[in-house]
């Protein structure tokens, strides 16, 4: 029983790091024509990326219409061909 619980915890914690990591950022520019968001993001632990301003791709299905430069947000991302695509985006209150 104990082993089962430990195994389950390992699965959950690795899931949290790989799939459900939220990163805080601030939108600098939205380029819908090129499907990109310029984002000033905080440190990203899972890929050890320090805080910086850089472009992110916008995953298909993600609607960014209600966002504008200056918005403080948190987001999740996936790595596609070495580039980071934002998959989930939320405004911070
Ligand atoms: Cu970066």
Query: Domain ranges in the chain?
Result: 22-91
- Digit-by-digit pLDDT tens for the chain (93 residues) are 666 666 655 555 554 445 569 999 999 999 999 999 999 999 999 999 999 999 999 999 999 999 999 999 999 999 988 899 999 999 998
Cα 71 to ligand 1 centre (Å): 17
Return the pLDDT at 12: 54
Tell me whether strands 72-80 and 83-91 are parallel, antiparallel or unpaired.
antiparallel
**Total-model pTM:** 0.77
The pLDDT of residue 80: 87
Q: Which CATH architecture has domain 22-91?
A: Beta Barrel (2.40)
Q: Burial letters for 52-76: b for 16+ Cβ neighbours within 10 Å, e otherwise?
A: eeeebbbbeeeebeeeeeebebebb
pLDDT of residue 17: 45
Q: How far does residue 2's CA lie from ligand 1's centre (Å)? A: 40
Residue 46 CA, ligand 1 centroid: distance in Å? 12
């Amino acid at each position: 029983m104990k082993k089962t619980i430990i195994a389950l915890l390992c699965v959950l914690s690795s899931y949290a790091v790989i799939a459900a990591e939220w990163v805080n950022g601030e939108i600098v520019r939205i380029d819908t024509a090129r499907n990109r968001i310029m984002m000033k993001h905080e440190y990203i632990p899972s890929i050890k990326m320090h805080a910086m301003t850089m472009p992110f791709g916008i995953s298909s299905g993600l609607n960014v219409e209600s966002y504008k430069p200056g918005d403080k947000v948190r987001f999740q991302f996936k790595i596609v061909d070495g580039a980071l695509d934002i998959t989930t985006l939320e405004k911070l209150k």
